[in-house]
Amino acid sequence: MSKWLSEIELKGSHVTLTPLKQSHSQELLIAASNNNLNDLWYTNIPDRDSIDQYIQNAISEQENGTMLPFIVIDNKSNKIIGTTRFLNSDSDNKRTEIGYTWYAKAFHKTAENTECKLLLLSHAFEELNAIAVELRTHFHNHQSRNAILRLGAKQDGILRSHSITQGGLIRDTVVYSIIKCEWPTVKHNLKFKLKTYIN
């Protein structure tokens, strides 16, 4: 089994990313209920009925070596504000994806969000020596699409009729990536954005 992805804590000034555990379920539900995030039809935010399976699925994929899920902790309050993960990881080809990312709405377009991506991308390119990092989102999730573009990722294409959602709808998936040669510029941009936030 590949050990390319190993449990690790990623700590920044604003957020700390800690491996996801079953014991985090209640705090994640509180974050998800902030401003009714789980009412968005084009996202997969867990609710009380699905949270345990949501976490168990992530842990199972982690054991398979293809996923590394994190909770996102706000350093000021020491509270869980969301979750993110590496997934669909391919150690042979040094590729991974960042996804399943969501935060309590109060933390959208904030330093916490920006630093979370900086920590993940730094780990992928500088520690895992990844050659590419993908980000994917629902075609109709324009907020997520715009956020990915603000990172400096480029759109690779749209996978039409890519999957069937839990609600039975057909999902078109927009695929973006950052490749290794682009990372220095993307990193500089993310650090610049962090400086613009008022602490």
Express each pLDDT in 16-46 by its tens digit.
999 999 999 999 999 988 755 555 656 778 8
pTM of the model: 0.91
Provide the mean pLDDT of the chain. Answer: 91
Contact 87, 99 (CB under 8 A): yes
Convert 58-87 into a string of H (helix), E (strand) and C (coil): HHHHHHHCCCEEEEEEECCCCEEEEEEEEE
| Domains defined for the chain, CATH in brackets | 10-196 (3.40.630.30)
